[in-house]
């Protein structure tokens, strides 16, 4: 069987959600822009929030005709800083979602939060309206690193807010950034030890990616900082793997660690190639065969929704080769690896018919290994994930 390798672009929606899905809602508002962030966000304006949620309701309503399977597995409020938003807005859109979809009794509903935007009252309100998981962007407990990253919180604030979160949420995740210019292995170990002292159910560790268009990127171009040493980055990652395993965390995805029963359901949908609906400016959705991305312009989003019911967006019907490539590198991110049997079932073609040479090369480089019909990243492959994934791109 030959596999189609041509993607196409559509001017109108041909989306069709035929399998259970997740829902992502982008909240673009931020109190200020972090120096490393390249996600779409804009300044918080009270006057825009109500209009924005009216627009979200309309976008959701007009997307329903594309959804044949109304079973949802998770809802995720990302940003931006969703924790700037009053709970009544969250309640209203969750009410609309629950009215139009079926869902499991304890469906995971996650809200991203920054420590500086949380209060006891806000946490109580979020819990009351249905949020049952928080993803808290701590990033560090080192005040110098927090300042470099452009965070509004201090180490003292982070500690205070984590303790507050623990009073109201059993299910929460803490984000930590490492490989920050000027950071040492000892600095990172201090961050790890501090975060482990709270014994969070879930942890996400991200090495700092310096993206074009950010303040830190400008500092790099201007020579104010240097690129982080890759060997030091790898040493930090290895240290984290050792410490977290010793503390009972399962390393279930390259950047993610969880105690038993606390794997992030929504994020796992992405790595498991599950469809997801996405709402809001700059949000990207996937129905299993096509992707769409809403234009990254809040006021334009609101205006277009009120005018035509859907925002301006780009649709891409993925070729079979594109789909196979995404399926491959997303599955390789997981601890469970890529199953040759499931690949054949998904695409009706043998994995080696597409990637025989790539697999041979990656094995020679000791970046992957095989076991019981599955392909896994080696320890070295986890450190050099992007060098593995690029081999699968069309």
Tokens 């623990």 found at: 166
* SS3 track for 254-285: CCEEECCCCCCHHHHHHHCCCCEEEECCCCEE
What is the residue-level pLDDT of the chain in tens, covering all 394 positions? 455 555 544 444 579 999 999 999 999 999 999 999 999 999 898 889 999 999 999 999 999 999 999 999 999 999 999 999 999 999 999 999 999 999 999 999 999 999 999 999 999 999 999 999 999 999 999 999 999 999 999 999 999 999 999 999 999 999 999 999 999 999 999 999 999 999 999 999 999 999 999 999 999 999 999 999 999 999 999 999 999 999 999 999 999 999 999 999 999 999 999 999 999 999 999 999 999 999 999 999 999 999 999 999 999 999 999 999 999 999 999 999 999 999 999 999 999 999 999 999 999 999 999 999 999 999 999 988 889 999 988 7
Residue-wise pLDDT for 311-342, tens only, equals 999 999 999 999 999 999 999 999 999 999 99
H helices present in 183-333, as ranges: 185-196, 215-221, 230-246, 265-271, 298-308, 320-332
Architecture field, domain 15-271: Alpha-Beta Barrel (3.20)
Fold of 319-394: Arc Repressor Mutant, subunit A (1.10.10)
Cis peptide leading into 80, omega within 30 of 0?
A: yes
**pTM of the prediction?**
0.94
Residue extents of the structural domains in the chain: 15-271, 319-394
348 φ/ψ sector (left φ>0, alpha ψ -120 to 50, else beta): left
Residues in the chain: 394
Instruction: Round to whole Å and give the CA distance between 221 and 244.
Output: 35
Residue-wise pLDDT for 68-83, tens only, equals 999 999 999 999 999 9
């Amino acid at each position: 069987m030959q596999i189609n390798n041509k993607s196409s672009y559509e001017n109108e929606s041909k989306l069709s959600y035929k399998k259970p899905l997740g829902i992502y809602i982008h909240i673009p508002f931020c109190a200020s822009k972090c120096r490393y962030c390249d996600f779409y966000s804009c300044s918080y304006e009270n006057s825009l929030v109500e209009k924005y949620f009216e627009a979200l309701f309309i976008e959701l309503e007009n997307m329903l005709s594309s959804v044949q399977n109304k079973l949802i597995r998770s809802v995720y409020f990302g940003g931006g800083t969703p924790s700037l938003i009053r709970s009544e807005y969250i309640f209203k859109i969750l009410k609309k979602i629950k009215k139009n979809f079926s869902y499991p009794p304890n469906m995971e509903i996650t809200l991203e939060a920054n420590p500086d935007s949380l209060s006891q009252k806000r946490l109580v309100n979020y819990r009351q309206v249905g949020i049952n998981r928080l993803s808290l962007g701590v990033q560090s407990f080192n005040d110098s690193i927090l300042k470099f990253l452009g965070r509004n919180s201090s180490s003292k604030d982070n500690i205070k807010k984590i303790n507050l979160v623990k009073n109201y949420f059993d299910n929460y995740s803490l984000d930590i950034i490492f490989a920050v210019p000027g950071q040492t292995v000892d600095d990172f170990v201090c961050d790890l030890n501090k975060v482990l002292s709270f014994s969070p159910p879930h942890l996400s560790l991200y090495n700092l990616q310096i993206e074009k268009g950010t303040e830190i990127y400008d500092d790099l171009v201007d020579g104010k900082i240097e690129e982080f040493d890759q060997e030091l980055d790898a040493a930090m990652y290895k240290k984290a793997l050792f410490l977290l395993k010793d503390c009972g965390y399962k390393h279930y995805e390259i950047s993610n660690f969880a105690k038993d029963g606390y794997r992030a359901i929504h994020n796992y949908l992405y790595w498991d190639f599950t469809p997801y609906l996405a709402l809001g400016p700059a949000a990207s959705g996937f129905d299993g065969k096509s992707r769409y991305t809403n234009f990254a312009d809040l006021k334009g989003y609101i205006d277009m929704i009120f005018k035509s019911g859907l925002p301006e967006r780009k649709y891409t019907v993925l070729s079979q080769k594109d789909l196979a490539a995404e399926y491959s590198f997303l599955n390789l991110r997981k601890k469970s690896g890529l199953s040759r049997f499931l690949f054949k079932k998904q695409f009706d073609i043998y994995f080696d018919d597409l990637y025989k040479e790539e697999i041979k090369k990656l094995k020679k480089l000791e970046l992957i290994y095989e076991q019981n019909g599955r392909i896994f990243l080696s320890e070295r492959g986890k450190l050099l994930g992007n060098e593995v994934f690029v081999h699968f791109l069309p």
